[in-house]
Amino acid sequence: MRWNDHIKSKNLAVHTRYFNQGGKRLPGVTTIISGLGWGTERLMKWAAAQAHNGQDPEKVRDEAAAIGTAAHMLIECWLRGETPALDNLTHNQLHFAQQAYTNFLEWAETEKSSLRFHSCEQRVISETYQYGGTADLLLEIDGRFCLADFKTSAGVYESHKIQVAAYALAWNEMYPDLPIEQVWVFRLGRERGEFQAYCLPQHEWQHAQSLFLLLRQVYNYQGLL
């Protein structure tokens, strides 16, 4: 497992804003898919269940997000060979973040003979479809170039699949000689620190890509009515 400096040198600086070659600002992938609306009912049921159990849904959500962010930071620092800043984490957050981090390392260890990491925060732009995005991780498994995104959630959801498929679409446009052959969602558990590596089957990847392109068209009509 090691970084590939040639690919890493192509990694652009991470920004929250994306621009095309003409300087026009582009929507990001997460902005485009926010109009999907899938999962809203599931989220409402979860919030109601938390309230029924005497919990503040916002506090529970924020705590879970903090754990996921910390786990992501631990993994990324390990990949970069950097020391993570842990001072602001509570004991609970650090415990479960380290559990997710440990589970990620165990997965990487099982794949070590065929696993190479190339870059974190891989920024991509599609001139064809006019959007931008930043994938969490570019890696290689069994000689196949892959993109992966980390998600803090109780499961792998439709929006996660659409998001990483959109990143791969833009990457393949930018680097046609180094096409992405697999897309992954790396799920970090919100409560118990579990880790799940989910590789999208080819049919899911294709459906997710088609759905994203439809959402990209819909995005152009938002605000017109």
pLDDT in tens, 105-143: 999 998 877 889 999 999 999 999 999 999 999 999 999
Averaging pLDDT over each range in 35-44, 60-69, 202-211, which range is the top one?
202-211
**Sign of the torsion formed by the C-alpha atoms of 126, 6, 200 and 76:** negative
Contact 29, 161 (CB under 8 A): no
pLDDT, residue 189, reads 78
Question: What is the extent of the structural domain holding 181?
Answer: 5-220
pLDDT at site 222 = 81
Alpha-carbon distance of 130 to 29, in angstroms, equals: 10
Report yes or no on 72 lying in a domain: yes
- Predicted pLDDT at 52: 64
pLDDT score, position 37:
67
CATH number for the domain including 84? 3.40.1350.10
Confidence of residue 85 (pLDDT cuts 50, 70, 90): confident
Whether residue 225 lies inside any domain: the answer is no
How much is the pLDDT for 80?
A: 87
Model-level pTM greater than 0.85?
no
pLDDT band at 152 (very low <50, low <70, confident <90, very high): confident
User: Where is pLDDT greater, at 193 or 163?
Assistant: 163
At residue 74, the 3 state secondary structure works out as helix
Express as a percent the part of the chain with pLDDT over 70. Answer: 80
Q: Which of 32-36, 61-65, 156-160 is least confident?
A: 61-65
Q: In terms of C-beta density within 10 A (0-12 exposed, 13-18 middle, 19 or more buried), how is residue 165 classed? A: buried
Q: Name the β-bridge partners of 148.
A: 137, 184
Residue 91 lies inside a defined structural domain of this protein:
yes
User: Average pLDDT in the 11-19 region?
Assistant: 62
**Position 15 pLDDT exceeds 70:** no
Under 8 Å between Cβ of 136 and 29 = no
**Pairing verdict, β 131-141 and 144-152:** antiparallel
pLDDT above 50: residue 96? yes
Q: Where are the alpha helices (DSSP H) in the chain?
A: 5-10, 29-33, 40-52, 57-80, 91-110, 158-174, 202-221
pLDDT exceeds cutoff 60 at 11: no
Q: How many structural domains does the chain have?
A: 1
The pLDDT of residue 61: 65
How high is the mean pLDDT of the chain?
A: 84
Instruction: Note the pLDDT of residue 74.
Output: 92
The whole-angstrom separation of Cα 126 and Cα 17 is: 14
